[in-house]
Structure 1
Amino acid sequence: MKKIEATEIKVKKSPLQRAKMTLSVLALIVIAACAKVEGEPDQQRRAEDGGKIQIVTTIGMITDVVQEIGGGEVEVKGLMGPGVDPHLYKASQGDIQKLDDADMIFYGGLHLEGKMTEIFEKLEKRKPTVAVSRDIDPSLLRSGEDAGGSQYDPHIWFNVKHWVSAAETIRDTLSEYDPAHAAEYGKNAEAYIAELNKLDAEVRERIAEIPEEGRVLVTAHDAFGYFGDAYGIKVMGLQGISTASEYGSKDVSKLRDFLVENKIKAVFVESSIPTKSMEAVIAGAKELSHDVKIGGELYSDSMGEPGSDADTYINMVRHNVNTITEALK
């Protein structure tokens, strides 16, 4: 009798059994497809974007440092260009779309971006949304409440050492999100931070050129407090920390009297604030027979136009300190 091999046995399945098997296979395909879509959105999107992490930033200074540290692995879109005041900025529908499409977001924090803070708080539940001021020791932050602002002064970039902390926060965030390129981010950050440390020393040397009694910086709004604390120069602003707080005739008179009494010869305007505010102070001093000149334009809440001498964070700081030094020394 012929021996029947197991491979020769064919079991005839009923139509119902065949239908059940087909449905089972289809179900497995659907589950696998769903798992791929849910588990690999970042990789899929990065493939469509040439492998780059899509990042949205707020102010130009943050845009600059994220690009420096992210290098070729990131594509950075900044919402606020030259001359834009972040305190008064209102997000457009296009901005909301950019934020929604981004893989990650970096912003200043400490209420620098005003009402946009609420948007960032909602987005951080869905994607990395990081304030670059996050890791600065609160004891090193200036109070903002005394100058009509929030709990802390958000203008941290005016102390270059604080910007080192911001760079480290950006490096760590990128490395955690994209560990495959962590070494590259670390190398880029190391080189950039070395440049920042050189810049910090340069600022100290330049301010030291100004006679001690002449180290008084008068600007349109109180954005340079960290600069004054770090580099030994007295700072006064017509408006408070946030330009959202309006100045009045009493503020103009108070600053005018200070200029006259202390024989201050120069004040400074800012690229993101109309000059009329400081022109009113200068006119008031002139009525009291004290001539005050505009010592130059400083960049406070935004950088300069591309191709200018303030088109990067480092160039911006260097422009400011050179302008201040040449006007006051």
Structure 2
Amino acid sequence: MKIDRAVGSWMLLIALIVGCQRSPESATQTQRDPSRPIRVLTTTGMVADLARNVGDDQVEVVQLLGPGTDPHLYKPTRDDVQSILGADVVFYSGLMLEGKMGDTLVRAGRSKPVWAVTEAIDESYLLEPEDAQGHFDPHVWNDIQAWSQCIEVVRKALADFDPDHADDYQANAAKYQQQLNELHAYGLRSMQTIPAENRILVTSHDAFNYFGRAYDLQVLGVQGLSTESEAGLQRINGLVDLLIDKKVRAVFVESSVPRKNIEALVNGAASRGQEVKIGGELFSDAMGTAGSYEGTYVGMMDHNITRVVRALGGEAPERGLNDKLSE
């Protein structure tokens, strides 16, 4: 309830500010100022990376959520409101990933173009887990083919806002699409080398369902789709039973989620005589450090694919597809 009240107050604040600035019709009349780059506001790093790759030197991207930040729990600040109001175009992930922030960003559409990049993905492709209370799983970037569909949303939005550079955005989008095609092909090749009995991926929360579907892995998270839900003792004990029964060799922590639940699994298995290793840290809801290879979407997914394959007994180069992964 505390988070809901905080986000609700923020929604009211931005609605009032935006409502006083422009009429709803003005959003369609916005045009680029050719004397400066387009100011693009994004929520997560994955969305920011889309904008940077498609917009290239025509855009200046501001990212609200930094490395290691959990979008499920993020509490927006007054500075975030000002960043949104100062942007020319806004992109967010959608599918309730940003919680009630998504509704607020839609309100900002009264004064500027605002796009949920996942709106390009057909609903038939989306997953709707039983415990999701009627919501789709928002972690679609963990399926490279699904995330590739979001490129077109960014391309079209930038081309509509800045038609003079539409050809540039088209070329950039095609180049980025090719990079993602190569990355997905690497994932398919590498994942096929994991022995059948090892194809179980246990992580901190249910962020990897699309990843599992793409690469034929059974995926189990200690917590649910949102990290707001706490894992109970019964859930942890049940997973320990599975680790022992299936002889799972490794489990994974996540960069934006506390390690305590995964460590509880490892300790629980050890108390019953089975060694389970932490196979590495995966990037789930946020990318790596800004400026690093893992701080890009390609680097993030290269890291996740490579670490999972190697920890589960498959074959992949230690430094990944592009020989750029950190040691």
| TM bin (shorter chain) | 0.7 to 0.9
Deviation at 1:147, TM superposition (A): 3.4
242, 266, 271: which one pairs with 1:282?
A: 266
172, 184, 204: which one pairs with 2:156?
A: 172
Deviation at 1:307, TM superposition (A): 4.2
Deviation at 1:261, TM superposition (A): 0.9
What residue is the counterpart of 1:193 in the other structure? 177
Of all paired residues, the percent bearing the same amino acid is 43
Distance 2:265 2:175 in 1: 43
Distance 1:150 1:60 in 2: 26
Distance 1:316 1:131 in 2: 21
What residue is the counterpart of 2:18 in the other structure? none
72, 90, 96: which one pairs with 1:105?
A: 90
Which amino acid counterpart does residue 67 of structure 1 have in structure 2? Answer: R
Deviation at 1:251, TM superposition (A): 1.3
Any idea what the Cα deviations from partners look like across 1:33-92, whole Å, max 9, x if unmatched? xxxxx899855x735xx4211110000011011011001111100001110000101110
What residue is the counterpart of 1:163 in the other structure? 147
What residue is the counterpart of 2:282 in the other structure? 298
Q: What are the ranges of 5 or more consecutive residues in structure 1 without an aligned counterpart?
A: 1-37
What residue is the counterpart of 1:75 in the other structure? 60
User: Would you say 1:91 and 2:71 are equivalent positions?
Assistant: no
What residue is the counterpart of 2:245 in the other structure? 261
Distance 1:171 1:160 in 2: 17
Contact 2:27–2:113 at 8 Å: present in 1 too?
Answer: no
Distance 1:157 1:130 in 2: 16
Runs (4+) off by over 4 Å: 38-43
213, 225, 240: which one pairs with 2:209?
A: 225
Number of matched residues?
288
Which amino acid counterpart does residue 97 of structure 2 have in structure 1? Answer: L
What residue is the counterpart of 1:244 in the other structure? 228
User: Would you say 1:138 and 2:147 are equivalent positions?
Assistant: no
User: Would you say 1:46 and 2:30 are equivalent positions?
Assistant: no
Distance 1:135 1:306 in 2: 27
What residue is the counterpart of 1:28 in the other structure? none
Deviation at 1:126, TM superposition (A): 2.4
Contact 2:269–2:275 at 8 Å: present in 1 too?
Answer: yes
Distance 2:99 2:28 in 1: 34
Cα RMSD of the aligned pairs, angstroms, is: 1.7
Which amino acid counterpart does residue 117 of structure 1 have in structure 2? Answer: G
Instruction: For residue 202 of structure 2, give the secondary structure of its aligned residue in structure 1.
Output: strand
Distance 1:119 1:187 in 2: 32
TM score, norm. by length of structure 2: 0.84
What residue is the counterpart of 2:114 in the other structure? 129
82, 94, 102: which one pairs with 1:117?
A: 102
TM score, norm. by length of structure 1: 0.84
Contact 2:56–2:172 at 8 Å: present in 1 too?
Answer: yes
Contact 1:90–1:115 at 8 Å: present in 2 too?
Answer: no
Which amino acid counterpart does residue 109 of structure 2 have in structure 1? Answer: E
CA spacing shift, 1:215–1:162, aligned 2, 3 Å? same
Deviation at 1:150, TM superposition (A): 5.4
Contact 2:27–2:112 at 8 Å: present in 1 too?
Answer: no
Contact 2:270–2:276 at 8 Å: present in 1 too?
Answer: yes
Which amino acid counterpart does residue 110 of structure 2 have in structure 1? Answer: K
153, 178, 182: which one pairs with 2:137?
A: 153
